[in-house]
Structure 1
Amino acid sequence: MPFLSKAIGVPRSMFKLFFAAAITLCCIYGVLLYRQPLYTPPPLRLGDQAWRQVAPPHPIDDLIKEARTKLTETLAKQSMTLEQAAEKYRERRGRHPPPGYKEWFEYAKKTKAIVVESFFDRIHQDLGPFWALDPKTMRKQAYTQPQLIRVRRGKAEFITDNPHRPPWIQHWHEFVAEFSEHLPDLDMVLNIMDETRLLVPWPKIDEYMKKEAKKRKLVDPRLVVSTYSGLSDIDGDASIAATPYEHSWITNDANRFWNHLRDACPPGTPAKAFDAIANFEDSIEYPLNISEAYTYKGFISNITAARDPCMQPHMRGMHGTFIESVSMSTSHDLFPMFAGCKLPQNNEILIPGAMYLTKDAFYSGGSYHGSDWKEKKEELIWRGTASGGRHKSSSWWHFHRHRWVQMTNGTSLKAWRDSMTLFTPTYKLPSIPDLSLVYPSLGERLKVPLELWSWVKSFANTGFVDLECFPQQFDEAGKRILTCEYTSGSMEVLSSVPMKEQYDRKYIPDVDGNSYSARWRSFLMSNCLPLKATIYVEWHDDRLVPWVHYVPFDNSYLDLYAVMDYFLPSRHSITFSDVYSRDSIAKEIADAGQQWANSVLRREDMHLYVWLLLLEYARIIDDKRDVLGYVGDLVKQQ
């Protein structure tokens, strides 16, 4: 000890003091270590008592951790100044921002918007192919269409051939008028149908995108033009109005819509090998498992692929869009049309859905966003109509909403057979060994007959408020009947539950109808935990992170039981602290989704998205588009 004290240059008395303190700390640490459980999980675990977990990490834990890292990395790329935003635009897009970009960014700062360039990727994916088309041709095509918003000299008006339709165009017009003073002259053609419209075959789109890539360049700032040409050439040409452009639409092939989509899929994707189903009277072809191409141990890990029908040929017999839509008006030719949603292969230009813009409490729930988490009922709540397409007595079991209700209302799960396989007209689950292999946590629930049924019934409150039969049925008084004879043994009608009451439950799932769900934005803005399965893409997808802001599940709904098993209390091999932690995770996702929606899905954020989109669109239809741009920041630096 004296030698060691001398060797390190510390006085002997002080060395003894240090040595005694070190021994004391080691003893304290040993006692604390002894009191800890044998296994401490990774820091992913959330909640005040999360450290008490003794179970190994669940796959969803890994997905949450990865998703949070992704969001952190994304936010690190936020632009705080005009110069930063313009620089990041040029880096990502390969050209200058459009004229009007400065005023756009000033509005972003004024409204405290979060500006990350990747949030606007969808704009460039949608507009990319149009760089290959002739600008004047596009201007002419749009000018005489029956549904459009026209902007001239900063004022917006709408044109429609039928003002008695649902007020989508009115909502869009009111919205665009709120910032039209900053827009150049343009005509927006609008899709006012539920169904998607444009499906250009993949080889043609690939050709267009290659042409766009060749046009992409950073023009010398001294040669850049900062003023749009306007549409005076179109407005002053009487011949255009006299001979309106008529686009070619396919309207009589709804049962074979899958084949139109398949032609828009890239080479090598699974959908390419499958034709549309010829006879929907056959039983449903339910997948034995979820594709590993977009899952991690059975749970969604790649949301882009998870909503892509090209990756899931079984969807041709499991989603109403591919079985028989209510209406069909599809084209294989590219044409500038704006829409609220589309399939990943469609070629419409996305804007926020019209019903996201309404204040109707039916879609928004009003100003109430839910009770405190601890006061909410431990329930998964869903009410809706049997929309999604035109189901009939010969095809109804193929429709996604019918499958959704049968898989979640508990009653149908009584169909337990000696084969130990769960099946109904709308789905057929894998055998218990196979299902347990993919989702080990479900194994205990499946050991006892009817255990799964009683468990689902204990938390799920789902049902139709209207079965929307085809053909429609009426009683003797001429009132439409809400139930269908052909589903009477399998489906019933339940009373509706207002949105504000649904917000007093913890779990609010969202599935497709005829197209996108108009309630999704409101679900995100509530303080409930939103769950989502969809094959549609929307304007906001690039700014939402699954497993951080909401919980994704597969369009087959095969993983739903395992997702709910993760969040809900269980009496099987799970500690009280585990239940507490899982509930805390559910609450944290609900809170994060609400806070994020109130930061990036506000009306102001929708303004910014559509504003920038229309600046870009106006440039594409301008004859001087190759030299149009904003370079004020570069000139200022010089």
Structure 2
Amino acid sequence: MLLGRLSTRERRFVVVPLVALVFSFILYYQEYLHSARSTKSVPIVVSSSVSGRVDPQPVCVPPAPKRPAVLLSHTYRDDGILEVNPDGSHPIYELIELANARWKSKLSRASKTLDEAVREYEKRYRRRPPKGFDKWYEFIYSRSKDGRLSFDQDEYDQIYKDLEPFWGYHPLDLQRLQDEQEFHTDTFTLGTNETNQLEVLRVSFASGVNSWNPDDLLGGARSIIEILKDVEQDLPPFRAVISPHDSPSLFSDYEVKKMALDAASSNTYMDVDSIAIGPPNGWLSGCSPTSRARQGGSEQLSQQKTFIHDHRKAMDPCRHPYLLESIGEFLKHEHPGPSHRMLPRFAYCATLMHHDIQIPTLFAWVDDVLPRSDDPQWDQKLDERLVWRGSNTGIWHAQDTRWQKAQRTRLVDLARDLNGTVKVLLSSSTEDVRVGEGIEIPRGKVNPAMMDVAFAGEPVGCHEETCLELRRRYEWRRRQGSKESGQFKYIIDVDGNAWSSRFKRLITSNSLVFKATVYPEWFFDRIEPWVHYVPVQVDYSDVYDALAFFRGGLYGEDRREELARTIANEGRAWSRTFWRKEDITAYVYRLILEYARVMSSDRDAMSYDG
């Protein structure tokens, strides 16, 4: 009423100051609320029940960090590790965003025709595709999902990595080495016979009381024949020597492999019979003289928190020497001597220190988790702890072995430790808040609330005295069936004697998989960490931080569960689209085409001329 009696000019002098006063009050009140929240301790409640639900046992947490004017960048190291800047946002936001961009780019640039696939091949590998490439392309096109080609017609870099050193060998030398390998103990030779049918052509297994069951050792041969049965008629003549064991066995000498790759790059051949190499230096013989492992560089370059941004590089012991003291594959060989030749032999897996040619099998392969009722949808899974059950495989357990350092032992020890504290990065509800240094939380509170990790069954792979020690030292729970494990939202997958065969089943579920491994498997070129699974370091230093980001703190505060659900769903969709039985067939089919060519006396004649 009063304003109505005033002139327009008089109203302006009254209203403008009033608006400014109200606006100043709003700003002051918001700052007051933010300050109040920042000075209050946040109660965190710890679980004491089997499902990860919480009972009121508050733990005071330091005040949340204030928002800086500008969020700073994290450091992406060339060893595959992201180093966290406390004044940046939580790095997992960024890791997920970058990974999704890479994945979309990979899908969008995939070849869509045979001609495009040929051009992409020549661009990547600087040579023509192998003979039979057109037949191979017909196969993958006929098996494409819903009539649409996936990008797997391009993503076969692992085959290139495995076979490229052999391009630096003369074919006659390769054939001689292959002939010698056929008589190597504990191998079988698979190939085509006179009528071009696949069969086991030779078996060279040890005999005696402590030898393996030959029928068990030939399980891989039967699996590979099953994989190739639909393309058998189109395979070239070949003979492949294959190790029947889980682990790789061909340890590479760095200098020998470099000479082979240099010869391949220059289209020349190295003399395989007059190679001069230095004295053996254990596992370090597989590393470059300038590598961190050979230079004796400290693994702990920084006390900052870290995450994986490049999973393959994070698996490299030459970049991360601590791996040599953390994984059974390396621990069980004190001072191994490298091979002074690159030998053409296949295995079911390999680390970056080995040159076994990887050939996948159907071991533990599943099309789906069945019955589907054992794998509820994300929102119906009741347990929010990180789960793992398994045997104490990975290394022989005896007084003279370093089994305490092996990956599975360390995981169980980590989860059962109730002493001291662990520093954990907590998430924030938005990306525009600094992540901070993390907070110290008592292990006696965080482990029961966030971890359900234990050995299952009975001790295996151990000397009698050490078996008794293992039985006394650890709790041995019953094995989990798919229905029981299906109640957990978060599952961690770790290596055993070699690669983890359970990964296929886990990623096909509706749970989010955390994966720690040193084996870059055949499918690693076509899967994207942080899109389909969560990569974690083998020392488990980032496990609590990654888990807290997705599930929230002990009380579930500031959880990013929608991101966890998305990755779990994307992992399952990826498995059912890109890890079908026909995808394995396509990989092994192309591997055999490439292998037959590099072994041929006339490599040009074994190249595609379309």
- Assess same fold via TM > 0.5: yes
1:456 aligns with 2:439: no
1:311 aligns with 2:316: no
- Residues 497, 65 of structure 1: alpha-carbon distance in 2 compared, 3 angstrom cutoff: same
1:371 aligns with 2:354: no
- Indicate the residue corresponding to 1:529 in structure 2: 512
CA distance in 1, matches of 2:360, 2:176: 25
CA distance in 1, matches of 2:508, 2:600: 38
CA distance in 1, matches of 2:361, 2:531: 23
Contact 1:441 1:565 in 2 (8 A): no
Q: Could you say what secondary structure the match of 1:104 adopts?
A: helix
CA distance in 1, matches of 2:215, 2:464: 22
1:335 aligns with 2:376: no
1:559 aligns with 2:565: no
Which residue identity lines up with residue 164 of structure 1 in the other structure? D
Query: What are the Cα deviations for residues 324-369 of structure 1, in whole angstroms up to 9, with x where unaligned?
Result: 269999744211111111111211111214514578xxxx754547
- Indicate the residue corresponding to 1:468 in structure 2: 460
Q: Which moved more, 1:258-267 or 1:378-387?
A: 258-267
- Residues 456, 201 of structure 1: alpha-carbon distance in 2 compared, 3 angstrom cutoff: same
- Indicate the residue corresponding to 2:196 in structure 1: 154
Q: How does 1:493-532 map to 2 (within 5 A)?
A: 493-532=476-515
- Residues 571, 136 of structure 1: alpha-carbon distance in 2 compared, 3 angstrom cutoff: closer
CA distance in 1, matches of 2:362, 2:334: 19
Query: What are the Cα deviations for residues 201-246 of structure 1, in whole angstroms up to 9, with x where unaligned?
Result: 1111111111111229xxxxxxxxxxxxxxxxxxxxxxxxxxxxxx
Q: 1:389 aligns with which of 392, 395, 398?
A: 395
- Residues 197, 310 of structure 1: alpha-carbon distance in 2 compared, 3 angstrom cutoff: same
- Residues 602, 435 of structure 1: alpha-carbon distance in 2 compared, 3 angstrom cutoff: closer
- Indicate the residue corresponding to 1:631 in structure 2: 609
Higher strand proportion (structure 1 or 2):
2
Contact 2:424 2:544 in 1 (8 A): no
Q: 1:104 aligns with which of 111, 117, 136?
A: 136
- Indicate the residue corresponding to 1:404 in structure 2: 411
- Indicate the residue corresponding to 1:261 in structure 2: 283
Which residue identity lines up with residue 380 of structure 1 in the other structure? L
1:133 aligns with 2:140: no
Q: How does 1:409-488 map to 2 (within 5 A)?
A: 411-412=416-417, 414-416=418-420, 443-446=438-441, 450=442, 452-465=443-456, 466-468=458-460, 470-472=462-464, 484-488=467-471
Contact 2:89 2:435 in 1 (8 A): no
Q: Could you say what secondary structure the match of 1:484 adopts?
A: helix
Show structure 1 runs of 5+ residues with no match.
1-29, 43-54, 217-246, 248-257, 276-284, 417-421, 423-428, 474-482, 633-638
Q: Could you say what secondary structure the match of 1:613 adopts?
A: helix
- Indicate the residue corresponding to 1:278 in structure 2: none
Q: Could you say what secondary structure the match of 2:517 adopts?
A: coil
CA distance in 1, matches of 2:551, 2:425: 22
Which residue identity lines up with residue 150 of structure 1 in the other structure? G
Shift of 1:393: 3.6
Which residue identity lines up with residue 374 of structure 1 in the other structure? D
CA distance in 1, matches of 2:235, 2:477: 47
CA distance in 1, matches of 2:568, 2:499: 21
Shift of 1:288: 5.4
Which residue identity lines up with residue 200 of structure 1 in the other structure? S
Which residue identity lines up with residue 157 of structure 1 in the other structure? E
Q: Could you say what secondary structure the match of 2:491 adopts?
A: strand
Shift of 1:469: 5.3
- Residues 512, 592 of structure 1: alpha-carbon distance in 2 compared, 3 angstrom cutoff: same
Query: What are the Cα deviations for residues 259-305 of structure 1, in whole angstroms up to 9, with x where unaligned?
Result: 44311112311111459xxxxxxxxx9x657799xxxx511112121
- Residues 500, 78 of structure 1: alpha-carbon distance in 2 compared, 3 angstrom cutoff: farther
CA distance in 1, matches of 2:549, 2:380: 20
Which residue identity lines up with residue 196 of structure 1 in the other structure? P
1:60 aligns with 2:88: no
Which residue identity lines up with residue 471 of structure 1 in the other structure? H
Which residue identity lines up with residue 404 of structure 2 in the other structure? W
Contact 2:168 2:260 in 1 (8 A): yes
- Residues 86, 160 of structure 1: alpha-carbon distance in 2 compared, 3 angstrom cutoff: same
- Residues 402, 519 of structure 1: alpha-carbon distance in 2 compared, 3 angstrom cutoff: same
- Indicate the residue corresponding to 2:18 in structure 1: none
Contact 1:353 1:518 in 2 (8 A): no
Q: Could you say what secondary structure the match of 1:378 adopts?
A: strand
Shift of 1:170: 2.1
1:588 aligns with 2:566: yes
Contact 1:365 1:500 in 2 (8 A): no
Q: Which moved more, 1:495-504 or 1:512-521?
A: 495-504
Aligned length: 495
Contact 1:79 1:115 in 2 (8 A): yes
Question: Identity, % of aligned pairs?
Answer: 27
1:609 aligns with 2:582: no
Shift of 1:402: 0.6
- Indicate the residue corresponding to 1:199 in structure 2: 251
CA distance in 2, matches of 1:373, 1:201: 46
Show structure 2 runs of 5+ residues with no match.
1-22, 35-66, 72-86, 206-213, 274-279, 428-433
- Indicate the residue corresponding to 1:220 in structure 2: none
Higher helix proportion (structure 1 or 2):
1
- Residues 530, 103 of structure 1: alpha-carbon distance in 2 compared, 3 angstrom cutoff: same
Contact 1:138 1:621 in 2 (8 A): yes
CA distance in 2, matches of 1:487, 1:274: 34
Which residue identity lines up with residue 532 of structure 1 in the other structure? K
Shift of 1:440: 5.8
- Indicate the residue corresponding to 1:621 in structure 2: 599
Contact 2:282 2:336 in 1 (8 A): no
- Indicate the residue corresponding to 2:7 in structure 1: none
CA distance in 2, matches of 1:630, 1:433: 55
Which residue identity lines up with residue 628 of structure 1 in the other structure? M
Shift of 1:534: 0.8
Q: Which moved more, 1:618-627 or 1:173-182?
A: 173-182
Shift of 1:569: 2.8
- Residues 550, 289 of structure 1: alpha-carbon distance in 2 compared, 3 angstrom cutoff: farther
CA distance in 2, matches of 1:151, 1:358: 28
Q: Which moved more, 1:70-79 or 1:313-322?
A: 313-322
Contact 2:285 2:338 in 1 (8 A): no
Which residue identity lines up with residue 249 of structure 2 in the other structure? R
Q: 2:114 aligns with which of 58, 79, 82?
A: 82
Which residue identity lines up with residue 132 of structure 1 in the other structure? G
CA distance in 1, matches of 2:235, 2:424: 60
Q: Could you say what secondary structure the match of 1:119 adopts?
A: coil
Which residue identity lines up with residue 375 of structure 2 in the other structure? G
TM-score by length of 2: 0.73
Contact 2:281 2:335 in 1 (8 A): no
Which residue identity lines up with residue 319 of structure 2 in the other structure? M
TM-score by length of 1: 0.70
1:321 aligns with 2:313: no
